């Protein structure tokens, strides 16, 4: 049906610049720019009200951008297939335009249904890449070349004009009626391209100078990381826009450094940031290539590890009441802001899955709801990596006390998010269970009342986890499976524009994805 509307389906790409589907549709005819609040999607275990709030803010910004191009953003609620049926019947759909999406299992199944619908109704579905993820990839050979080629191309400008059409009467909505888990977070980041652009500008102008040294501590990371991760997750800026802005900044600072060698720290931080943009796509490729990673161990040998669900331990973890101050402070910050730096995310997963020995699937769903920047393609591969179920990564069992002492030596972070421990001196702040009765009275903190005792002994739990996981991984038959997984998912040495780093930073690159 060539006389129908050209339907642009916005998903995790809420912008008008560097948006090939919108530009292509605008050149083909009348455009229906549509965002669908899919009711069943919001019932999934990884959906949360803060995600809907961030999307709503981003849609308001998108609507403003589209209005400047001459059309109105349309919003609907319901099932995508049912909506396609109605639109095709009432308006006729000439073609469907969208970006590819590496989402959760629900969106994967939804896209398969949409593809079947398009085939049945002879509607061409045009899809475009928007990052370094490559569909139908069988192994990682040559993946870095794909990455480099995609990001060498310049971001596509917005169309000059879009001739828009509206939804039929009765389908359009302004505010979705969704049943969601959780409450919006009072201090989370807000959505929209304008906010994303400001973050990018300030990061490349001044905030990013100490990036490579500041990203590991929860005290410095909130200011000196780019904070673009939620905007990448929902596409208010494209990855390609960020990469090109970064490379422009690199050229500028190369010129500055030639005249002022003392400014070389900028280039080092920018190279470190670029490497993390590469790793961002590297991990998303894993979920794209193996969607069931959301629910199944990547390494099947790990299926025999029994992680019984301990409801008391899970509740203590989710509420930030484990008795380990640094862990609990991280949870409290997440509850309020929806963001924490990646090293602390890795520690939380390792603590929950390896020390509390909780099923990683339950931990993954809980943390997905906590992260404003929840990106399935990064989230599930990283959770499995930190839980030790990939079989091909170094097993990282974090010591929560050492992390506390290393990353928050003065206790600033702990005192901010656990004010009941504020009077405790640094000598005991990281291990308050060591306070004697007299010291508890002196500092006004009663262990077990004002703050819980540790729910496990971390050293013993770490030894048990390592023994269980390594015992399975080292079996000869399982090593063969590991080699197969490395061929499919493992990075290659020739990574795109991968910077030269110290040995310690090489390890950090594979572990650190904060943006």
Q: What is the mean pLDDT of each run of 10 residues along the chain (515 residues)?
A: 87 98 98 97 96 97 98 98 98 98 97 98 97 90 90 96 96 88 91 98 96 95 97 98 97 85 88 94 93 90 85 98 98 98 96 97 98 97 92 84 97 98 98 98 98 97 90 61 67 46 35 54
Packing angle of the helix pair 342-350, 360-370 (nearest 10 deg): 150
- Give the DSSP per-residue string, 344-356: HHHHHHHIIIIIS
Q: What is the DSSP letter of 284?
A: H
| 224: its two tokens | 């000196």
Q: What is the pLDDT of residue 316?
A: 98
Helix (H) or strand (E) holding 38: strand 31-38
- Give the DSSP per-residue string, 457-499: -HHHHHHHHHHHHHHHHTSHHHHHHHHHHHHHH---SS-TTPP
Please report, for residues 130, 244, 376, 494, the alpha-carbon distance to residue 253 in angstroms, rounded to integers and kept in the order given.
27, 14, 34, 25
Instruction: Give me the phi and psi of 183, to 5 degrees please.
Output: -115, 155
Q: How many residues does the chain have?
A: 515
Domain 5-128 CATH superfamily: HUPs (3.40.50.620)
| 243: its two tokens | 């990469």
Closest CA to 239 of 270, 278, 201: 278
Residues 6+ apart with CB under 8 A from 513: 276, 279, 280, 283, 342, 378, 382
Q: What is the pLDDT of residue 263?
A: 77
| 5-10 vs 93-99, strand pairing mode | parallel
Report whether CATH 1.10.579.10 matches the domain 292-500. yes
| 390: its two tokens | 């990939």
Q: What is the pLDDT of residue 398?
A: 95
Q: What is the DSSP letter of 451?
A: B
Rounded-to-integer distance, Cα 396 and Cα 317, Å: 19
Q: Are 430 and 406 in contact (CB under 8 A)?
A: no
Closest CA to 354 of 296, 325, 394: 394
| 514: its two tokens | 């904060």
3-state secondary structure of 8: strand
Q: Return the CATH number of the domain spanning residue range 193-289.
A: 1.25.40.80
Report the Cα 440 to chain-centroid distance in Å.
Answer: 40
Q: What is the pLDDT of residue 474?
A: 61
- Give the DSSP per-residue string, 425-446: -HHHHT-GGG--HHHHHHHT--
| 5-10 vs 31-38, strand pairing mode | parallel
Q: What is the pLDDT of residue 496?
A: 40
Are 5-128 and 292-500 the same fold in CATH? no
Domain ranges within the chain, ordered by starting residue: 5-128, 193-289, 292-500
Report the Cα 263 to chain-centroid distance in Å.
Answer: 31
Please report, for residues 278, 500, 501, 503, the alpha-carbon distance to residue 506 in angstroms, rounded to integers and kept in the order given.
13, 8, 6, 5
DSSP H helical ranges for 351-387: 360-370, 376-387
- pTM (predicted TM-score): 0.93
- Whose structure tokens read 């602390």? 344
Packing angle of the helix pair 264-289, 476-489 (nearest 10 deg): 110
Q: What is the DSSP letter of 302?
A: G
């Amino acid at each position: 049906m060539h006389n129908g509307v050209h339907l642009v389906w916005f998903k995790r790409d809420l912008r008008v610049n560097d948006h090939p589907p919108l530009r292509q549709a605008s050149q083909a005819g009348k455009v229906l720019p549509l965002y669908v609040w899919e009711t069943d999607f919001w019932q999934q275990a990884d959906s949360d009200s803060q995600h809907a709030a961030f999307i709503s803010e981003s849609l308001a910004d998108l609507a403003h951008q589209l209005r400047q191009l001459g059309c109105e953003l349309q919003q609907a609620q319901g099932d995508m297939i049912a909506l396609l049926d109605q639109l095709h019947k009432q308006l006729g759909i000439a073609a469907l335009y969208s970006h590819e999406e590496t989402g959760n299992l629900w969106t994967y199944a939804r896209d398969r249904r949409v593809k079947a619908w398009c085939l049945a109704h002879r509607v061409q579905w045009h899809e475009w890449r928007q990052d370094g993820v490559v569909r139908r990839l069988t192994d990682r050979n040559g993946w870095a070349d794909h990455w480099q080629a995609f990001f060498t191309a310049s971001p596509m400008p917005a169309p000059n004009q879009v001739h828009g059409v509206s939804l039929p009467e009765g389908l359009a909505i302004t505010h979705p009626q969704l049943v969601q888990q959780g409450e919006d977070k009072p201090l989370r980041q807000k959505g929209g391209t304008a906010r994303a652009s400001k973050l990018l500008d300030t990061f490349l102008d001044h905030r990013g100078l100490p990036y490579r040294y500041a990203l590991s501590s929860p005290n410095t990371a909130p200011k000196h990381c780019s904070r673009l991760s939620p905007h990448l997750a929902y596409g208010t800026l494209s990855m390609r826009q960020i990469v090109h802005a970064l490379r422009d900044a690199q050229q500028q600072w190369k010129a500055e450094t030639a005249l002022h060698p003392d400014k070389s720290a900028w280039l080092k931080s920018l190279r470190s940031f670029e490497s993390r943009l590469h790793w961002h796509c590297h991990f998303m490729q894993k979920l794209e290539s193996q969607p069931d990673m959301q629910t199944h161990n990547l390494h099947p040998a790990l299926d025999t590890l029994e992680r019984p669900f301990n409801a008391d331990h899970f509740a203590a973890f989710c509420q930030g009441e484990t008795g380990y101050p640094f862990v609990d402070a991280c949870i409290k910050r997440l509850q309020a802001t929806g963001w924490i730096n990646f090293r602390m995310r890795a520690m939380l997963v390792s603590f929950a899955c390896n020390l509390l020995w909780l099923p990683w699937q339950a931990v993954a769903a809980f943390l997905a709801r906590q992260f404003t920047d929840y990106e399935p393609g990064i989230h599930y591969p990283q959770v499995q990596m930190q839980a030790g179920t990939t079989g091909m990564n170094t097993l990282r069992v974090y010591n929560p006390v050492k992390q506390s002492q290393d990353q928050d030596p003065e206790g600033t972070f702990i005192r901010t998010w656990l004010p009941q421990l504020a009077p405790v001196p640094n000598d005991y702040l990281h291990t308050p269970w060591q306070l004697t009765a007299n010291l508890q009275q002196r500092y006004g903190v009663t262990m077990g009342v004002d703050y819980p005792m540790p729910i496990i002994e971390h050293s013993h739990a770490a030894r048990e986890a390592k023994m269980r996981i390594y015992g399975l991984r080292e079996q000869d038959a399982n090593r063969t499976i590991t080699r197969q997984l490395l061929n499919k998912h493992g990075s290659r040495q020739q990574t795109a524009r991968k910077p030269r780093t110290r040995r310690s930073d090489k390890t950090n690159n594979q572990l650190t994805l904060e943006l």
